[in-house]
Amino acid sequence: MTTTLSPDLAPFADFVAAIDDPDHRDRLITVLNWVHTTFPTLTPRFAWNQPMFTEHGTFIVGFSVAKPHFNVALEFVTLEHFRETITQSGDHCTKMLWQIKFTQPVNYDLLAQTIHYNLTTKATITSFWRPKDL
């Protein structure tokens, strides 16, 4: 079954079309559509060669793809806040990324928590990235 990217996520079309494995492509499209549906106020933006979502011009979450997994980019502060929960759920973290294997289920509840955290803690931030002193 082929999953269709929401028309509102058109900035991501070329990125997802370039994912060779159709199962991996469908999986990422499902996640991107979920973010868009669950957080409709977020703005889709393609930058730094990755699909990402912003709110009032500040970064909230981004995604990239590697062969065995896809990455969730959250910014260091957020990743540190959730690192233990992410690893306890069976996923892996690098210094800057949450890695979800294509063969494992996506923990949408945890993903929602990380996005809510960024929305809350960045509500008054006007820069794209979180200032280093926060």
Q: What is the pLDDT of residues 86-134, one digit of tens each?
A: 999 999 999 999 999 999 999 999 999 999 999 999 999 989 999 876 5
Backbone dihedral region of 48: left (phi > 0), alpha (psi from -120 to 50 degrees) or beta? left
Rounded-to-integer distance, Cα 132 and Cα 111, Å: 23
Residue 1 has pLDDT above 60, yes or no: no
Percent of the chain with pLDDT over 70: 97
Rounded-to-integer distance, Cα 34 and Cα 32, Å: 5
Q: What is the pLDDT of residues 16-33, one digit of tens each?
A: 999 999 999 999 999 999
Q: Where does the pLDDT of residue 74 fall: very low under 50, low under 70, confident under 90, or very high at 90 and above? A: very high
Task: Assign 63 to helix, strand or coil.
Answer: strand
pTM for the whole thing? 0.94
Residue-level pLDDT at 3: 85
Q: Which domains does the chain have, with CATH numbers?
A: 7-121 (3.90.1150.200)
Residue-level pLDDT at 131: 87
For 51, the token pair is: 């699909």
